[in-house]
Amino acid sequence: MGKIRNVGELVEPSHDEGHRQRFISILRKKVLMDFARDMKTVYEQKVEPRFEHVNRRKPRDGREIRRAMRHEPIYEAWSSLRYNAQFMTWWSVQPAVERSLPTLIEAARDAARQSPAGGSLEIDRNLAIPGYVTQLDVHQMPGCFHSEYAKDDVAQGAIYHYGANVFYGGLGSNLKPKGDVARSIAHYLKARFPKFQPKRILDMGCTAGSNTLPYKELFPNAEVHGIDVGAPCLRFGHALAEAQGLAVHFHQRSAEAPGFPDNHFDLITSSFFFHEVSVPATQRILKECYRMLKPGGAMIHMELPPTALTDAYQNFYYDWDALYNNEPHYERFRAMDFPRALMAAGFKRDKLHLVRIPNYASTPREEFLATARGTNTKRREHGVGRVWFTFGGWK
Amino acid sequence: MAKARKKTNGTKAKSNGGQPVRLPIHAKGKRAGFYRDPANDQIFSFIIMLTQELSVAMDRIETIERLLDKNGVVRRKDIEAYRPGDAEETERTARRDAYIGRVFQILHEEAEKLEAGH
């Protein structure tokens, strides 16, 4: 059995490409932290008082704030910076991925042939890719998760994987969602429900597996499965897992019709997934989750917090992505009545899970454990890297 | 981005016959605009791209300077192979951060004045 080359380390940018990537990481940090703070100041000190003066009340929701902000120079410039930085993230990794593609494909083929860690890869050439993936390139990533440009292509998986490093690269070690969502959920389960030992785990919309692999690390005896509609992401994710010695089973299947038997999984999870599918599809997927869950099993999905849990300014800020990052379902998803949607899928009211889980990597251990066990009364704010909103239920 | 790349928008696997694959550069979906005049959106994109290219040029100059300090000569392959260590990367990051802050200083100005009570 030959050694599998690690697809996560095979792409080498040139001197200038590497520095182009690091510029984008820092630009994004400036936009999301420094300039975002300036924009909020302009809102609080100028735009909101002006709105109140005219309307004799504060804005009711994010949409009203957006209407009040949209022709403010800082909003126009901030949006332009953020929008361009999004494209530039993907562009900054494309040339090196193009050059390395034959090597990446070969490494992924070796992984698929040998699966030395014991995982597997199942590609369904006849799978109908849902419209919410094919109609728009989600996250403005040209080619989205599913497009293929060569035989056994892994390019889009590589772009997503290496692009994420650029995307989060300037935000400091506390703000790296890559794998952190899964680690936080797994550690939450261990702390809160020490007797819960999942034997079979499913991650839906797993893309290149960054939030699938930690489940195998943290529950090594579990059989871990990941599904996604994008073959290039799955091939890349499988190759990455095998190179890391993690047995994970990747399947090209839609979460709307995943095809696993009834009462099959102890844990069904996802991260940053539901806001990318339509709301009717969300309902179908939640029903499928309930069907596939074993009695006593848990469904825990991580998502952006619902509109009802965040204030009007945060909603204005979050919903920017729905309008400008090719995530059109995001706003309607966040506006959903979560308990109602979960109960419509079959979950009982007293078995619902609506929990803010602190980010494991950046939260002091004591505080993480106290929060997980429900003994911590201090509340941390929502936001990438500090606390994850999770929803689901126990069957 | 400096080099021209052919736009492809295929979704099915194609036989690329040994030719290097060119990934698409345009995302599917409507292009957003934030200014009343779309020409301003274009100009903003040009400015950000130029800001990036200048940052890359500054990094290249810094690499050359460091190689000259160390070796007294500089060869192209040494530039390509050059990888900053952690301490140097931290310095370069601080420089990029300050540089972006200077280029887009006006963005900060309004907030600063408002906070100072005009």
Interchain CB distance below 8 Å, B11 and A35: no
Say if residues A83 and B42 touch (Cβ distance below 8 Å). Answer: no
Greatest C-alpha distance within chain A: 73
Round to whole Å and give the CA distance between A135 and A276. 12
Apex A278 CA angle, A166 and B32, nearest 5: 50
CA nearest A289: which of A307, A272, A270?
Answer: A270
Say if residues A172 and A269 touch (Cβ distance below 8 Å). Answer: no
Chain B residue closest in CA terms to A86: B27
Best residue of B26, B34, B51 to probe chain A, by most A CBs closer than 10 Å: B34
Annotated domain spans of chain B: 38-115
Can you list the positions of beta strands (E) in A142-216?
200-204
A251 in contact with B at a CB cutoff of 8 Å?
A: no
The pair phi, psi for residue A323, each rounded to 5°, is -85, -35
CATH architecture of the domain A180-394 equals 3-Layer(aba) Sandwich (3.40)
pLDDT tens digits, one per residue of A325-372: 888 888 899 999 999 999 999 999 999 999 999 999 888 899 999 999
Give the predicted TM-score (pTM) of the model: 0.92
Q: What is the ipTM of this complex?
A: 0.90
User: Rounded mean pLDDT of B41-51?
Assistant: 97
N-term to C-term CA, chain A: 42
Annotated domain spans of chain A: 15-113+133-168, 180-394
N-term to C-term CA, chain B: 41
A155 in contact with B at a CB cutoff of 8 Å?
A: yes
Instruction: Give contacts of A152 with chain B, Cβ < 8 Å.
Output: 13
pLDDT of residue B11: 45
User: Which amino acid appears at position A364 of this protein?
Assistant: P
pLDDT tens digits, one per residue of A136-145: 888 899 999 9
The pair phi, psi for residue A20, each rounded to 5°, is -65, -40
**Which of the 8 DSSP states describes residue B33?**
-
pLDDT of residue A322: 84
User: How many other β-carbons are positioned within 10 Å of the β-carbon of residue A329?
Assistant: 19
Q: Give the residue ranges of chain A where pLDDT is below 50.
A: 1, 174, 383-384
pLDDT of residue A193: 97
